[in-house]
Amino acid sequence: VLQAVTRNPLADPYLLGVSAGASTGAVLVLVLGFGALGLPVGAFTGAMVAFGCVLLLLGRSLGSATKVVLSGVVASQLFSALTSLVVVRSGDAERTRAVTFWLLGSLASADWASVGVCTATTVAGLLVCLLYARHLDALTFGRVTASTLGFSPHRTEMVLYGTTAVVTGALVAASGAIGFVGLLVPHAARMLAGSTHRVLLPSSALLGAVFLIWADTAARSLFGAQELPVGVLTALLGVPTFAALLRRRTATP
Residues 129/136, Cβ–Cβ less than 8 Å = yes
Residue 46 falls in which region: left (phi positive, over 0), alpha (psi -120 to 50) or beta: alpha
User: What mean pLDDT is reported for the chain?
Assistant: 84
Are 127 and 37 within 8 A, CB to CB? no
On the question of pLDDT at 204 being above 90, the answer is yes
User: Which contacts qualify for 31-38: CB closer than 8 Å, 24 or more apart?
Assistant: 31/86, 31/87, 31/90, 31/92, 31/95, 31/99, 36/109
**What is the per-residue pLDDT for 253?**
52
Indicate the SS3 state at residue 157: helix
**Using one digit for the tens of pLDDT, what is the confidence trace for 59-106?**
877 767 788 888 888 998 999 899 888 877 776 677 677 677 777 888
Alpha-helical (H) ranges within the chain are: 2-5, 18-32, 39-58, 65-90, 93-103, 112-131, 133-139, 143-147, 153-175, 181-193, 197-221, 230-251
**CA gap 14, 21 in Å, rounded:** 10
Kind plus residue range of the DSSP H or E element containing 132: none
Q: How confident is the model over 37-65, as pLDDT tens digits?
A: 577 788 888 888 988 898 888 887 776 77
107 and 51 Cβ atoms separated by less than 8 Å: no
**Which residues neighbour 146 within 8 Å (Cβ) at sequence distance 6 or greater?**
135, 138, 139, 153, 156
The secondary structure of residue 227, as a DSSP letter, is P
pLDDT band at 7 (very low <50, low <70, confident <90, very high): confident
Ordered by where they begin, the domains of the chain are 2-251 (1.10.3470.10)
Q: Going by C-beta distance under 8 Å and a sequence separation of 6 or more, which residues neighbour residue 45?
A: 25
Secondary structure class of 161 (helix, strand, coil)? helix
Q: Can you tell me the mean pLDDT for 173-179?
A: 84
pLDDT tens for 132-143 read 999 999 888 877
Answer for the pair 83, 23: CB distance below 8 angstroms, yes or no. Answer: yes
